[in-house]
A and B are shown apart, each in its own frame.
Chain A
Amino acid sequence: MNKFNITHLRELEAESIFVIREVAAQFENPVMLFSGGKDSIVMFYLARKAFWPAKVPFPLMHIDTGHNFQETLDFRDNLMQETGTNLIVKYVQDSIDQGKVAEETGPNASRNKAQTVTLLDGLEEGKFDCAMGGGRRDEEKARAKERFFSHRDEFGQWDPKNQRPELWNIFNGRKNIGEHFRVFPISNWTEMDIWQYILLENIPLPSLYFTHERYVVERDGTLLAKSPYIKLKDGEKWQKQIVRFRTIGDMTCTGAVNSKANTLEDIINEVASTRITERGGRADDKRSEAAMEDRKKEGYF
């Protein structure tokens, strides 16, 4: 490689930093969604890079389903404290208590859909005109068509047939009052890119991503972690297994995988040889072929 060649990770980094700065410049009151998962950890890290030595000029928001792993919450709180970042937490439980959304029932009950209500309320309450999310286009078919700057109407809805064309690196964030934008700074990253970048930059992660022993139950090909939120069906039982998580989300629908990967290098080798997509471990996407598309139209991230 010649001396002016930029590697693909540095090119992705430069692109994401550009997008995040564009958000800070174009919107009056942006917010960055933070779930405590690796994608949002990388996105937040890129935001810190974008504005250093100043602090990140917008708050972070976490939509807490109430079904989070304690490790994720501890990690989140430490990171916010270390970086002096303003974090807003919105609870799905509050939306349920206020009767805005009904809790799903049954053995596969999940709050994944309910969190859209909490999210939209949180955005409205804070009068945020732009919310950045860590969605990646390689995750799922409906995400492959997302723009970096995704316009939402006053109901927070996405209209996939009526998206603004996005050319070169010129981003059009103009909107009417009451409308807002979703922006996806790491759109072009793949799962592999994320892991390689974490290794390259030595970014700390919650311990859930690395191998550990845990009680799990196998359901529809997914290993679900033992928690008060999962009710065993007939014939199911908790089993102690050596696992790690490829994604970290709500405990009711985030599956673990059997793995002994203990270092970032181990994980990268595992990702390189694995034959299942990371969302393949998520029960919420298996509900129907267009599950993600339907949730996104309603305002899901």
Chain B
Amino acid sequence: MSEEKFSTKGYLDMELLRFTTAGSVDDGKSTLIGRLLYDSKAIFEDQLEAIEATSKKAGKDQVDLALLTDGLRAEREQGITIDVAYRYFATPKRKFIIADTPGHVQYTRNMVTGASTANLAIILVDARHGVIEQTIRHAFIASLLQIPHIVICVNKMDLVDYSEEVFENIKKQFMNFSAKLDLPDVRFVPISALKGDNVVNESKNMSWYQGTTLMYILENIYISSDVNLIDTRFPVQYVIRPQNKEFPDFRGFAGRLASGTLKVGDEIKVLPSGFTSTIKSIHLFKEELTKAYAPQSITITLNDEIDISRGDMIVRTNNTPKISQDIDIMICWLGNEPMQLNGKYALKHTSNDVRCLIKEIVYKVDINTLERTNDKSFKMNDIGRIKIRTTKPLFFDSYRKNRITGSVILIDEATNNTVCAGMII
């Protein structure tokens, strides 16, 4: 929160940026988030008092900004972050949601979780160590989850005398291996989270750096094109039938537009039945809209009486998703128990619930070298490609084209735990 007064109008026009942070244990990630909150004045007095007291108790001579983001008691005791935590702050330009994920080897699954909804990822690199295995892993996950924008923050520049050469070398190292990845937008910023260089305020120690601060990127990066507005996909989530005096015949199909747009009069097709109709009305509470676009939650009615239920998908007649029971997916295994080849799992895709069979393991990726391996056992945090067959056809797009209709989760039917994140190829 800034000292500047929010004009009510300005705030109502703000955009939301969701970003995730990745770094290894001592890269200073918690300090960076603390710095972002502190320098953008998003820290409240009582929070500051609490961490000042704790820092003093721990015998530290300056306020430990990392304490701001340490959530649970177990973490405070062990001094590590063990799960995804969400943080919120706003500047006069944007509101931000941070998915703060830990960098431990065993916690790949947390980064995958945090990355799944992010528009942007910050990957921290320690200036003293350069690109290490974990950096490669973080960049790979960002590419796998198709995060549209990546910012590589080379941190602890204060410990390498703010050297341009060190920064340029790390940039080169990163570009060398990232050529193998699918990262459309990568930027580099030299920072010191501890001292505050180039985080919110411009550094006075790196005049050689011509770029912008991290905060400037977060506030200004263009994110409107991150939403797919071309392929209209409306998974039906719930059928609304009031059957009251005022609306005796209302039959509305409620859901959130996964992508694309819809307007009154549009010709549509319902999957899997294949019936066609036109849109009669679009509702958001008492308001009637003429058009809607992703990611709005709306209710629509049609001009024909068609049997539609949860799990169906409404699309345009001339732009339909793929329909199949045999699907190739990239996965990150999240479960405690290893994946069972030929095992059966529950599968969730948009508003659809089906079951699936793991038919074939195509390959597993060594996430430290990005090489494909012959080892075909999938344990927690393993990433690779598999083939599945579902009990009913799914209507889907490739994850690259559509993060919502291209994603699935697998659930162990014995424990009900979510054990796998899948991205359709």
Interface residues of A (CB under 8 A from B): 1-2, 4-15, 17-18, 21-22, 24-25, 48-55, 137-138, 141-142, 144-145, 160-161, 163-170, 172, 174-176, 187-188, 190, 192-193, 196, 199-200, 265, 268-269, 272-277, 280, 289-290, 293
Asked if B238 contacts A167 (CB within 8 A), the reply is no
CB distance from B210 to the nearest CB of A (A): 29
Is B143 part of the binding interface, using a Cβ–Cβ cutoff of 8 Å?
A: no
Residues in A whose Cβ lies below 8 Å from that of B349: 170
Asked if B6 contacts A269 (CB within 8 A), the reply is yes
**CB < 8 Å: which of A138, A192, A273, A290 contacts B73?**
A290
Asked if A141 contacts B90 (CB within 8 A), the reply is no
Task: Pull 27 A–B residue pairs with CB atoms less than 8 Å apart, ordered by A.
Answer: A4-B293, A5-B15, A7-B12, A7-B15, A8-B15, A11-B16, A18-B256, A21-B255, A25-B237, A53-B240, A53-B252, A54-B241, A144-B71, A144-B85, A144-B86, A161-B83, A166-B418, A167-B409, A169-B404, A170-B409, A190-B88, A192-B11, A269-B6, A275-B44, A277-B44, A290-B76, A293-B73
Asked if A14 contacts B256 (CB within 8 A), the reply is yes
Asked if A160 contacts B72 (CB within 8 A), the reply is yes
Residues in B whose Cβ lies below 8 Å from that of A15: 295, 297
CB distance from A26 to the nearest CB of B (A): 9
Asked if A52 contacts B8 (CB within 8 A), the reply is no
- Among residues of B, the one whose C-beta sits closest to the C-beta of A296 is B72
CA distance in complex: A44, B293 (Å): 24
CB distance from A122 to the nearest CB of B (A): 24
Chain B contact patch, size range: 35 or more
CA distance in complex: A6, B285 (Å): 17
Residues in B whose Cβ lies below 8 Å from that of A165: 109-110, 112-113, 334, 418, 421
Residues in B whose Cβ lies below 8 Å from that of A55: 242, 244
Asked if A5 contacts B224 (CB within 8 A), the reply is yes
Is B218 part of the binding interface, using a Cβ–Cβ cutoff of 8 Å?
A: no
CA distance in complex: A142, B85 (Å): 9
- Among residues of A, the one whose C-beta sits closest to the C-beta of B293 is A4
Contact with A along B276-310 (1 / 0, CB 8 A): 00000001111000000101110100000000001
Asked if A276 contacts B83 (CB within 8 A), the reply is no
Interface residues of B (CB under 8 A from A): 1, 3, 5-6, 8, 11-16, 44-47, 50, 54, 70-74, 76, 82-88, 90, 94-95, 97, 109-110, 112-113, 116-117, 224, 227, 229, 237-238, 240-244, 246-247, 250, 252, 254-256, 261, 283-286, 293, 295-297, 299, 310, 334, 346, 348-351, 403-404, 407-409, 411, 416-418, 421
Asked if B250 contacts A53 (CB within 8 A), the reply is yes
Residues in B whose Cβ lies below 8 Å from that of A193: 95
Residues in B whose Cβ lies below 8 Å from that of A137: 86, 88
CB distance from B383 to the nearest CB of A (A): 14
CB distance from B400 to the nearest CB of A (A): 14
Asked if A272 contacts B297 (CB within 8 A), the reply is no
**CB < 8 Å: which of A6, A141, A144, A164 contacts B417?**
A164
CA distance in complex: A54, B283 (Å): 12
**CB < 8 Å: which of B86, B310, B403 contacts A187?**
B86
CA distance in complex: A5, B71 (Å): 33
Residues in B whose Cβ lies below 8 Å from that of A52: 240, 283, 285-286, 299
Residues in A whose Cβ lies below 8 Å from that of B297: 13-15, 17-18, 21, 50
Give the top 3 A-B pairs by smallest Cβ distance, nearest first: A8-B16, A54-B242, A17-B297
Asked if A142 contacts B411 (CB within 8 A), the reply is no
CB distance from A27 to the nearest CB of B (A): 12
**Extra 5 A-B pairs, beta carbons < 8 Å, given A5-B224, A145-B84, A167-B117:** A17-B297, A168-B403, A276-B44, A277-B46, A277-B47
Residues in A whose Cβ lies below 8 Å from that of B1: 192, 272
Residues in A whose Cβ lies below 8 Å from that of B76: 289-290
Residues in A whose Cβ lies below 8 Å from that of B416: 172, 174-176
Asked if B13 contacts A25 (CB within 8 A), the reply is no
CA distance in complex: A166, B113 (Å): 6
Residues in A whose Cβ lies below 8 Å from that of B250: 53-54
- Among residues of A, the one whose C-beta sits closest to the C-beta of B295 is A14
**Do A6 and B295 contact each other (CB < 8 Å), given the known contacts A52-B283, A276-B44, A293-B72?**
yes
- Among residues of A, the one whose C-beta sits closest to the C-beta of B100 is A144
Asked if A53 contacts B247 (CB within 8 A), the reply is yes
Residues in A whose Cβ lies below 8 Å from that of B238: 21, 24-25, 51
**Do A11 and B113 contact each other (CB < 8 Å), given the known contacts A49-B285, A144-B87?**
no
Residues in A whose Cβ lies below 8 Å from that of B85: 144-145
**CB < 8 Å: which of B224, B256, B284, B418 contacts A172?**
B418
Asked if A273 contacts B5 (CB within 8 A), the reply is yes
**Do A54 and B240 contact each other (CB < 8 Å), given the known contacts A4-B227, A167-B112?**
yes
Residues in B whose Cβ lies below 8 Å from that of A6: 293, 295-296
CB distance from B20 to the nearest CB of A (A): 12
CA distance in complex: A14, B72 (Å): 29
CA distance in complex: A53, B417 (Å): 35
Asked if B72 contacts A174 (CB within 8 A), the reply is no
Residues in A whose Cβ lies below 8 Å from that of B95: 8, 190, 193
Residues in B whose Cβ lies below 8 Å from that of A7: 12-16
**Do A168 and B44 contact each other (CB < 8 Å), given the known contacts A8-B15, A196-B11?**
no
- Among residues of B, the one whose C-beta sits closest to the C-beta of A281 is B46
